[in-house]
Structure 1
């Protein structure tokens, strides 16, 4: 995981150069190679998104070669920099002394260097021979060189996956190859005619399939452009802005900074696609903050782990899985994010309520709350005024496009100009003189440049994806261009502001000396600093993407082996038969399989694997295709907090210095509703496939059911600890509110909906009366405490 954005907020190119010059010559060469390849990979991806000079599959081949080479070079540099890193010891190397361990790591660094050369060379070979391998060679046969190259590609894929994500997914990839080779020796339905090594190599790589399948294509285009955008955003300081926004919200809640973890992890988790990486990044800030507020260490780890895991189902990015899902199902990206919106809100609503109940139950509240709380903040004059300005901006932009028939950029320029004029008029209206008005207006600009400017690229992202319905590659391109342009303009405007209003904007280090540089010199220096940060963001985005190259290639290899041997269709038929054709049983089997396959794997990889194997039997029993995919994806995501692996909890517990199993237990309690929400999606298909009447009713009922279920798992209703009978009543009401439509085949649709709504109303009434302390004495919650 790369460093967080906090250390890149102020560019320090001179310090970076001094650090580079202090390195040994070997490290300097590797740093130059890594930096050049990383920036080149990002620029190449951006250029491809703009020009599309070659077919997507051929670009994926080139991307694989450079990405694998880049990953191995970073591994080699890490090994050379610290040859005795004790934290990197494995079960085998723990038996070695320090000297022997250092020798092993140096030998491994040489292996990584050779692997980097092999990755680039094989990628170049397949790229240059692309048309022959994808056409003539399939008919006339492959050469020995082709087969050797394919074998090296498969070996690099499995090894890179092992290094990046551990043994779990790499062993699955190796097992799929062995299954293809020796399947004829297996008993029963697992048996198949068997593949030769030539078959494995051709279908796994050199037929431009397997490693280079559609998964690598999506990864090299749709996924890569967003990972690289995330790298830019983090380099520009977006993580600080997200944490700051969460902090402001936390200041309006009695739960304080606890909800900062939920909000910031939701935002970052949607982009990163890795629960463990997100926990490490945001958790390094939020977990210590929660502990300082008094939150118990196991709960702090659990809260961050659950929030980081759930970000992967949050639109619009969904941890890059949304792109894969759209490509697999063959629907528009907009349809995916629309279908995933309510399920994602359900998960975070349940997590937020669970955290709130836990904080209130155990007294981990903060007294340092803004007057008026969250409602006072939401309906404050400044918030309402901000909403008005957003409405003016959107309305002007819409009028420019629809009424004046202006283009996209002219409409945006007109909208921005109107907004500036409106804000200037407000400054004049609320002040007594022109000087005070200018100070007030400049103060508003300072506040905007303190983080509000990140809303510009995010608005472009949403507009291009949702309104214009462009492809993710095109939307990502426009978003990347926008964030770069925004930062260059911002830094120049800040420079002007510092010259005209030094008291409000402050001065930079080079302007605080006896000799203030000229404006031209300062402007050039600002351009260089912004350019340096931009290229650092390019590098970071490529380095974040490099480990994913191996795992995406491995998933393509696995799917190729399973489909070519016919195992996927056999599993589909067998699962339906094993469940006796009963949907609930098949859903439970799919849940267990999804969690097991997801243990230790990154969620996108786990989703691809389980979607290939498990969605067909669900569809055979009447579940809509997109609901089936969201069902297995949800549980692949939840595997990150499911023992015995629970990778997100493992990272969070290390940061919090708490016991792993204790933290995992609390994570299951906080995320308990998440394990039942996927079944509610199947029972209430309108939550995924929207309809005008059914969706609002189902949304209301299921949301209330989730609150009641959360009260049961936490044992608290917001005011008092619940007794066992009360928990049982809420459990029945929550299950009825969430799953009553599943009984429509027996009682009819209308009756099922009436029962569902009635249960939701009863549960909501009970929770409301408890909150107002108006429950009858016979039903009042018991006092007490719990673990």
Structure 2
């Protein structure tokens, strides 16, 4: 039975997470791929230890390894054999490695030519760009490819575009030179971050996974919350939040924890559409949880120009508010249906868990401490990788064998491919934006559409970010939305970090927003529910993510950007009470089953409390208190009558 459930989870992962749908080699080919992946990880560890190379050299080696692995691991067509490489893929793998290698070999000459592109340069650059687009199609998917192609079309069609979108247009030579032979295109900031911080954190995550940390998180969540009302659903929320601290994919998070928690929820009495939605909403929230944030935290620090730890601090309170909202939705649904928890006798004991496997979480605690202490993300990740191996050896039951340490190097290289390709493709978009100035033009268009008013601008930016984020992985999602949508908010006077966090949130929440809700589809694949209904339920549970961004734009104190500790505390408390009111309104239960007028009052009160301001908070608390008083009195009367 467990084997069949594991196979089902694996099938769901491959169906909805393109990064997991790879070739399954045996024999010599498996060893070749493993050797390339291990060499990739060794190169990254070496440069992290002894110093990174010049920007284009570091990023060129990084891209060369990645492209070779992509074409070896992801077939051109799904119908092709998964056990034998096709000659076309072998040729593309060689070209994928050779195109970046040209930059490494000709680096001095390219520097001396200072932007002058020869015919050979042009041919190599064109091949490199086309290979990046093809790799994007295989690993990331068509939505990202369509966005890239739209920007490339715009680069050439500038003279024929209407109004403010018009520009002089670019020649093939100009575009290839900019995108492939400068650090403002494919080899730009996104790939630079991928070739340094992101790779090390993903390798760190691969080793944590090898130690069994994921199973420890699920068992710990069971011990903490499994006994409560609707226990398995709360376990899903808690374990997904913990997994999100190191996970880089909503869908992978859904499958990893959902294969255990969703059957438990269904067995307890949750409807299959709701069970899948709980896991989808919680796992999507994992991308909002520091310190990794789906690898977007590092990009945000580079784009905004602030220390990485400032991004982590800014993300803490909004992430906790989000998970509080999902937890409350689950709790009220359990109360509404009178769902009990799991008997304590069937749950693991916290003390025993911490004694036997608590040491596995030490590297995660230490990496946060190192980051707060002023260590660079690269140095902190490097130390944490070593600690993950050392800490696993503290007990025989968790100790990694030498072959498992080597496999960790291979898995880390495999796991980074999706982010690597997405960063390279995002570099094409950024390159076109910087060369044509379309970013500011789109921002001006959004401002014109909203009449120069902040709330309409935020609304249109939200819609833009959700649409652009549909079907696109976290890293690429953030790069696209921050390039196209964030400048509009910045022009309105919104702090830069708040503007970037705003578009990041709505880009991520696209994973549970119908019709393209990949996390919800994965959840329904495991639960056997209806994908659309699962997506709708997930959107209701994730309602906090639709509101919190408005809150921290209107009151940046939530991001710890401004204001005192007292301001932060008061804003957080009123926001939490607002989450209680909103969740109970959507589910239809607070202290008792909600009547329609009560649900309306709770919704209004919740929104008022989330909006910063003394008057709105006071009115919101009064409305919430009124409904709570009426329900408590009604419930007491029913108990007396019984």
Query: TM-score by structure 2 length?
Result: 0.90
Cα 1:207/1:251, change in 2 over 3 Å: closer
Match of 2:208 among 233, 236, 250: 233
1:200 maps to 175
2:472 maps to 601
- Whether 2:573 is the aligned partner of 1:700: answer yes
Q: Helix, strand or coil: the match of 2:114?
A: helix
- Distance in 2 between residues matched to 1:286 and 1:776, nearest whole Å: 32
Report Cα offsets for 1:635-654 as digits up to 9, x if no partner.
00110011111111111111
1:759 maps to 619
Residues 595 and 638, structure 1, Cα contact 8 Å, conserved in 2: yes
Alpha-carbon shift at residue 106 of structure 1 (Å) = 9.6
Cα 1:777/1:684, change in 2 over 3 Å: farther
Residues 454 and 483, structure 1, Cα contact 8 Å, conserved in 2: yes
Matches within 5 A, 1:136-215: 136-139=112-115, 141-215=116-190
Matches within 5 A, 1:99-498: 109-133=86-110, 135-139=111-115, 141-366=116-341, 368-369=343-344, 448=354, 450-466=356-372, 468-491=373-396
Residues 150 and 206, structure 1, Cα contact 8 Å, conserved in 2: yes
Q: Which has the larger radius of gyration?
A: 1
Alpha-carbon shift at residue 770 of structure 1 (Å) = 6.4
1:737 maps to 609
Report Cα offsets for 1:52-85 as digits up to 9, x if no partner.
1523442121011001111221225xx8xxxxxx
- Whether 2:535 is the aligned partner of 1:675: answer no
Q: Helix, strand or coil: the match of 2:167?
A: coil
2:20 maps to none
- Distance in 1 between residues matched to 2:270 and 2:585, nearest whole Å: 21
1:429 maps to none
Alpha-carbon shift at residue 131 of structure 1 (Å) = 3.7
Matches within 5 A, 1:642-657: 642-657=513-528
2:19 maps to none
Q: Helix, strand or coil: the match of 1:708?
A: helix
Cα 1:44/1:578, change in 2 over 3 Å: same
Alpha-carbon shift at residue 562 of structure 1 (Å) = 1.9
Alpha-carbon shift at residue 489 of structure 1 (Å) = 4.2
Cα 1:272/1:152, change in 2 over 3 Å: farther
2:17 maps to none
Residues 38 and 70, structure 1, Cα contact 8 Å, conserved in 2: yes
Cα 1:770/1:41, change in 2 over 3 Å: farther
Residues 672 and 713, structure 1, Cα contact 8 Å, conserved in 2: no
- Distance in 2 between residues matched to 1:53 and 1:557, nearest whole Å: 23
- Distance in 2 between residues matched to 1:695 and 1:775, nearest whole Å: 35
Alpha-carbon shift at residue 594 of structure 1 (Å) = 0.3
Q: Which runs of 5+ in 1 are unaligned?
A: 8-22, 80-87, 90-100, 387-443, 496-525, 742-751, 782-787
Residues 766 and 775, structure 1, Cα contact 8 Å, conserved in 2: no
Alpha-carbon shift at residue 618 of structure 1 (Å) = 0.9
Residues 276 and 526, structure 2, Cα contact 8 Å, conserved in 1: yes
- Whether 2:631 is the aligned partner of 1:631: answer no
Match of 1:658 among 521, 524, 529: 529
- Distance in 2 between residues matched to 1:727 and 1:582, nearest whole Å: 30
Alpha-carbon shift at residue 165 of structure 1 (Å) = 1.9
Residues 186 and 428, structure 2, Cα contact 8 Å, conserved in 1: yes
Alpha-carbon shift at residue 364 of structure 1 (Å) = 3.1
Alpha-carbon shift at residue 767 of structure 1 (Å) = 6.5
Residues 256 and 369, structure 1, Cα contact 8 Å, conserved in 2: no
Cα 1:106/1:679, change in 2 over 3 Å: same
Residues 592 and 635, structure 2, Cα contact 8 Å, conserved in 1: no
Residues 287 and 300, structure 1, Cα contact 8 Å, conserved in 2: yes
Residues 733 and 760, structure 1, Cα contact 8 Å, conserved in 2: yes
2:438 maps to 567
Alpha-carbon shift at residue 102 of structure 1 (Å) = 5.1
Alpha-carbon shift at residue 715 of structure 1 (Å) = 1.3
- Distance in 2 between residues matched to 1:490 and 1:767, nearest whole Å: 53
Residues 701 and 756, structure 1, Cα contact 8 Å, conserved in 2: no
2:417 maps to 546
Report Cα offsets for 1:641-675 as digits up to 9, x if no partner.
11111111111111111111111111122112321
Residues 598 and 627, structure 2, Cα contact 8 Å, conserved in 1: no
- Distance in 2 between residues matched to 1:340 and 1:57, nearest whole Å: 31
- Bigger CA drift: 304-313 or 37-46? 37-46
Alpha-carbon shift at residue 633 of structure 1 (Å) = 0.6
Report Cα offsets for 1:380-438 as digits up to 9, x if no partner.
xx98xx8xxxxxxxxxxxxxxxxxxxxxxxxxxxxxxxxxxxxxxxxxxxxxxxxxxxx
Residues 65 and 119, structure 1, Cα contact 8 Å, conserved in 2: yes
Residues 605 and 621, structure 2, Cα contact 8 Å, conserved in 1: no
- Bigger CA drift: 688-697 or 361-370? 361-370
Alpha-carbon shift at residue 343 of structure 1 (Å) = 0.7
Alpha-carbon shift at residue 602 of structure 1 (Å) = 0.8
- Distance in 2 between residues matched to 1:323 and 1:776, nearest whole Å: 50
- Distance in 2 between residues matched to 1:732 and 1:364, nearest whole Å: 28
- Distance in 2 between residues matched to 1:458 and 1:359, nearest whole Å: 32
Residues 281 and 512, structure 2, Cα contact 8 Å, conserved in 1: yes
Residues 585 and 599, structure 2, Cα contact 8 Å, conserved in 1: yes
2:16 maps to none
Residues 180 and 561, structure 1, Cα contact 8 Å, conserved in 2: yes
Residues 60 and 220, structure 1, Cα contact 8 Å, conserved in 2: yes
Q: Helix, strand or coil: the match of 1:315?
A: coil
Residues 132 and 421, structure 2, Cα contact 8 Å, conserved in 1: yes
1:59 maps to 58
1:712 maps to 585
Report Cα offsets for 1:36-55 as digits up to 9, x if no partner.
11112122212211111523
Q: Helix, strand or coil: the match of 1:231?
A: helix
Report Cα offsets for 1:180-211 as digits up to 9, x if no partner.
12222222222211111111211111224311
Cα 1:560/1:762, change in 2 over 3 Å: same
Report Cα offsets for 1:287-317 as digits up to 9, x if no partner.
2222222221101111111111111111111
Alpha-carbon shift at residue 763 of structure 1 (Å) = 5.0
Query: TM-score by structure 1 length?
Result: 0.74
